[in-house]
Amino acid sequence: MKTEVILIQNIVGLGAESDHVKVAPGYARNYLFPQRLAIPLTGANKRRIEVLRQRRAEREAHEFNSMSELARGISKLTCIIKVKTGDDGKMFGSVTSGTIADELKHQFDISLDKRKIHLDHPIKNLGEHDIELRLHPEVTSTLKVHVESTTPPPAPTEAEKGAPGERGPRTEKRGRRFEARGDKTEKGAEKTEKAGEKTEKSDKPARAPREQRAPRPPREPKADKSAK
């Protein structure tokens, strides 16, 4: 046998304020009544229904206004989610509504029930995705989610480095040729400088020849000692 109660709080899956519902006696006695979520359906409590309905209308209007404002703000955001990928660019795992809810809280301090994030299937591809948010029975919005990889691209192999005609070694040889040409140019410049120095030396006036000395007179023959 069920027990009729009047809900005084919004209970997901059961009803909202002022609703009459039937529940198991143990559920009402052990949970709803102690938590002040419902009251027994009696003549005295029926008079509280109008008050509960008014409070319900105010709550729903507040939720509608809050969700409408949130929808306008969220539509301008881009939520970035970083994932690990393999060498082929494929993701490890997938992005779920729970992942998006966590990133909204972390990046924008927006607390959103993951059940309001509508995904037809988990995201398994990199790039930008438009995600539908069902914030309220009368309010929906779209969130841009950009999924990017945190895995660095693979380093190029030696074959890839030398693929375009082995440009690397040629560049090195060309550099050596330029160095050799530079050395030759420097040596040529040194030779030119030395030639210039010789030219400058050759331009100096030659020394005047020494004055010719007068020839010495011939010596007189010595007297013959035997004639004495």
Tens of pLDDT, residues 123-146: 999 999 999 999 998 999 999 999
Predicted confidence (pLDDT) at residue 196 exceeds the cutoff of 70:
no
Smallest Cα–Cα separation from 120: which of 129, 111, 128? Answer: 129
Domain 3-68, what fold?
Ribosomal Protein L9; domain 1 (3.40.5)
Predicted confidence (pLDDT) at residue 197 exceeds the cutoff of 80:
no
Residues 7, 23 contacting (CB under 8 angstroms): no
Q: Looking at per-residue confidence, does 226 or 88 come out higher?
A: 88
List, in sequence order, every residue forming a beta bridge with 40; answer none if it has no partner. Answer: 5
Q: Domain residue spans in the chain?
A: 3-68, 73-149
Predicted confidence (pLDDT) at residue 212 exceeds the cutoff of 60:
no
d(CA 28, CA 110): 34
d(CA 135, CA 145): 17
Write the pLDDT tens digit of every residue in 30-65. Answer: 999 999 999 998 888 888 888 888 888 998 999 999
- Range ranked top by mean pLDDT from 13-27, 61-75, 169-183, 214-228: 61-75
CATH architecture observed for domain 73-149: Roll (3.10)
Residues 64, 70 contacting (CB under 8 angstroms): no
Average pLDDT, the chain: 79
pLDDT at residue 13, as a whole number: 87
Long-range contacts of 145-148 (CB under 8 A, 24+ apart): 145/78, 145/79, 145/81, 145/95, 145/100, 146/78, 146/79, 146/80, 146/81, 147/81, 147/82, 147/83, 147/91, 147/95, 147/123, 148/80, 148/81, 148/82, 148/83
Strands (E), 163-217: none
* Secondary structure element (H or E) that encloses residue 62, with its range: helix 49-74
Smallest Cα–Cα separation from 108: which of 74, 139, 65, 141? Answer: 74
